[in-house]
Amino acid sequence: MNFTKEKVTINNPADITVILGYFVIVIGVGIWSMFRTNRGTVGGYFLAGRTMVWWPVGASLFASNIGSGHFVGLAGTGAASGIAVGGFEWNALFIVLLLGWLFVPVYLTAGVITMPQYLKKRFGGTRISLYLSVISLFLYIFTKISVDMFSGAVFIQQALGWNIYIAVIALLTITALYTVTGGLAALMYTDTVQTFIIIAGAFVLMGFSFREVGGYSTLLEKYSSALPSPSLRLSPSPHLYNISSACYTPRQDAFNLLRDPVTGDLPWPGVVFGIAIVGGWYWCTDQVIVQRCLAARSLTHVKAGCIMCGYLKLLPMFLMVFPGMISRVLYPDEVGCVVPSVCKEVCGTEVGCSNIAYPKLVVSVMPNGLRGLMLAVMLAALMSSLASIFNSSSTLFTMDIWTRIRPQARDRELMIVGRVWVLCIVAISICWIPVVQAAQSGQLFDYIQSVTSYLAPPIAAVFFLAIFVKRVNEPGAFWGLMGGLLMGLCRMGPEFYFGSGSCLFPSNCPKLICGVHYLYFAVLLFFCTGILVLLVSYWTPPINDRHLHRLVFSLRHSKEDRVDLDWEEVERGRKARREVEEKNKATRNEENETNKDKSAILRLIGWFCGLSGSQAPEPTEEEVAEASKQLPDISEEPVWKHFVNANALVMMAVAVYFWGFYA
């Protein structure tokens, strides 16, 4: 048992040049896009002025979805149990079409910026939107950010041997810098660059690893015999525990996407329906993704972007899952380790070392220079998804929570609050590192998966019904969400208490609670919430049609006037802002002569963040009435409409082919 611990510090000139080149490109694109859009308004900063064309939309959808968590998690799970984990990616192909064709048209005609805002318009009241914004922020911090940082840390530790704190703080600082200064436009253009880098780098690694293992057919042959050497299979203390062969032999169905519904690790009904529901939450109702679509120029561009993202989502199976399996074939003793003490020596965790599959490949297979490229890839994945989460969470916070605390807040204040919140999130993420490090028992991934599949389905169900069923009303949606949350917590609590266990030491969670696969549970939760929502809705009075024009799918083309359910609150905010403006004008007239020049530094910061000194005056009653007559436009040119429809069909056919191929 002698593992040569390669501490590869990147210190050769080729690697450093590549990394420097990467940073120059990203910062260059960030600065270039800063000048392209007006960042001083809410629409400009949070929605990129609604001027994006299809390719930044598609690339940005992809880049904000693919994080470093995918590289570590997909490759790791692929190494441990085969290609079924790719179902998570390939399911998204269909869900992303659902987003472009069914959900975004409604969001566009509703004229909203955030998802809680949509629910507020659709149902009225404030409790639903408050619940949604709080739970979204919770999920961002405890699942998305931590999973990305955890896997980034794994990579940096394994491949580079850098200090995690310094590395992560530096990364977060750069990310925060261009999120704060540029707004969504800068983000989406840099995301496009990041997508190129991610795909190019991952392709190079895939090529090298397939050459190393000897081609695809050799992988098929060798994977099932990728066992750790016999001396590493025996328990060092047989009186305490035995190692059954099931714990270290690769699964028989490793090359099947659809597995046995009862005994499989990812049963096929769960893979088909459960992932679709969790994916429905992620792709169709979550701020991070929807915000990118709302920034598009027109609905056709949204759809084209979704198709592009769909095609790109075909790749992770080949770029991440297969290399992970190759890694197990090449390094069965390390990646496929089974004895806890050995695992501890290899990667620092006792449960298993499948998470190091991808970093191990990078370190061992790639030559100088290209290793730097792979680091750039990981940085790109990490930074793009973190930056998206930063931007979206700041949008949520500003638009939904801050406007509630201070209804008189005007554009300029909102801009500043949004940027300050990004800094807060960065601080929280940095404080989160020790927790992430402590939780490096290899189980973090399980927890995160369970957190998502126990909390997300009720949200997906409520959005789905809100958009497609006119009859659903406020009490129905609220009690549905609460009931769903309760059910989810009933499952989550015991799982956290008992732990999810490992192959050697299964958890002693009672079968009744933890026996149901988490994907099955997601389906169950989705339908229970849906039924609850419908039941309560039919018990209580319906919402009149005049409040729902252009807020539900069946009325999306309606041209009637809508009486917003939240108009009182909006009106109150507008009145408060107008009063503040009046007051400001009065004081400014007095101070005008005395205090004309601000300090140079303040002005520089203001310019850097795109905050112009003057802001548009608050619209008067007449202007508001005029603006409300201008309906949002979701009409499409027939030619291009048919073109994107046909493309979507082709993409679905391709996806179905791949599903069939690996079924």
Binding positions for another protein, rule: CB under 8 A: 37-38, 41-44, 47, 49-51, 111, 113, 221, 224-225, 245, 249, 252, 410-411, 414, 577, 616, 619, 624, 627, 630, 649, 652-653, 656-663
Fill in the DSSP letter of residue 251.
P
Which of these, 327, 389, 388, 384, lies nearest to 158 by C-alpha position?
A: 327
Cβ distance to another protein smaller for residue 408 or 507:
408
Cβ distance to another protein smaller for residue 410 or 550:
410
C-alpha separations of 594 from 321, 343, 513, 615 in Å: 66, 71, 71, 21
278 residue type, one letter: V
Cβ of residue 324: shortest distance to another protein, in angstroms? Answer: 19
Cβ distance to another protein smaller for residue 221 or 582:
221
CA angle 380, 314, 152 (to 5 degrees): 30
Among left, alpha and beta (phi > 0; psi -120 to 50; other), residue 171 is: alpha
C-alpha separations of 593 from 2, 385, 601 in Å: 78, 47, 21
Cβ of residue 227: shortest distance to another protein, in angstroms? Answer: 10
Cβ distance to another protein smaller for residue 503 or 652:
652
Distance CA 646, CA 561 (A): 34
Distance CA 493, CA 391 (A): 31
Cβ of residue 140: shortest distance to another protein, in angstroms? Answer: 23
Cβ of residue 31: shortest distance to another protein, in angstroms? Answer: 20
Cβ distance to another protein smaller for residue 527 or 662:
662
Cβ distance to another protein smaller for residue 224 or 443:
224
Distance CA 154, CA 200 (A): 22
CA angle 193, 194, 199 (to 5 degrees): 105
Cβ of residue 144: shortest distance to another protein, in angstroms? Answer: 26
Cβ of residue 484: shortest distance to another protein, in angstroms? Answer: 31
Main-chain dihedrals φ then ψ at residue 259, nearest 5 degrees: -120, 170
Distance CA 29, CA 195 (A): 13
Q: Which residues pair with 434 in a beta bridge?
A: none
The set of residues, in sequence order, having a beta carbon less than 8 Å from that of 73 and lying 6+ positions away, is: 85, 147, 151, 355, 445
Instruction: Write out the DSSP string of 411-441.
Output: HHHHHHHHHHHHHHHHHHHHHHHHHHHHTTT
Cβ of residue 217: shortest distance to another protein, in angstroms? Answer: 12
Evaluate whether 161 touches 9 at the Cβ level (below 8 Å).
Answer: yes
State the DSSP H helix or E strand holding residue 325, giving kind and residue range, or none if neither: helix 322-330
Cβ of residue 661: shortest distance to another protein, in angstroms? Answer: 4
Cβ distance to another protein smaller for residue 37 or 195:
37
CA angle 629, 633, 635 (to 5 degrees): 135
Positive or negative torsion for Cα 272, 274, 277, 283: negative
Q: Which two tokens stand for residue 326?
A: 């190759």
Evaluate whether 221 touches 255 at the Cβ level (below 8 Å).
Answer: no
Fill in the DSSP letter of residue 631.
-
C-alpha separations of 7 from 2, 347, 350 in Å: 15, 13, 21
Cβ distance to another protein smaller for residue 438 or 653:
653
Cβ distance to another protein smaller for residue 113 or 346:
113
Cβ distance to another protein smaller for residue 47 or 339:
47
Main-chain dihedrals φ then ψ at residue 635, nearest 5 degrees: -75, 150
Cβ of residue 33: shortest distance to another protein, in angstroms? Answer: 15
Q: Which two tokens stand for residue 442?
A: 């290899």
Cβ distance to another protein smaller for residue 90 or 479:
90
Instruction: Write out the DSSP string of 506-571.
Output: -----HHHHSS-HHHHHHHHHHHHHHHHHHHHHHSPPPPGGGTTTTSGGGTT--S----TTHHHHH
Cβ of residue 318: shortest distance to another protein, in angstroms? Answer: 14
Cβ of residue 111: shortest distance to another protein, in angstroms? Answer: 8
Distance CA 9, CA 13 (A): 12
Evaluate whether 90 touches 619 at the Cβ level (below 8 Å).
Answer: no
**3-class DSSP assignment, residue 285:** coil
100-121 burial code (b ≥16 CB/10 A, e <16): bbebbbbbbbbbbbbbbbbbbb
Cβ distance to another protein smaller for residue 41 or 453:
41
Distance CA 137, CA 501 (A): 28
Q: Which two tokens stand for residue 428?
A: 């929280």
Cβ distance to another protein smaller for residue 240 or 661:
661
Cβ of residue 75: shortest distance to another protein, in angstroms? Answer: 22
Cβ of residue 266: shortest distance to another protein, in angstroms? Answer: 17
C-alpha separations of 246 from 242, 338, 505 in Å: 11, 11, 13
Cβ of residue 225: shortest distance to another protein, in angstroms? Answer: 6
Cβ of residue 627: shortest distance to another protein, in angstroms? Answer: 5
Cβ distance to another protein smaller for residue 599 or 614:
614
Cβ distance to another protein smaller for residue 144 or 556:
556
Cβ distance to another protein smaller for residue 298 or 385:
298
State the DSSP H helix or E strand holding residue 495, giving kind and residue range, or none if neither: helix 474-498
Cβ of residue 245: shortest distance to another protein, in angstroms? Answer: 8
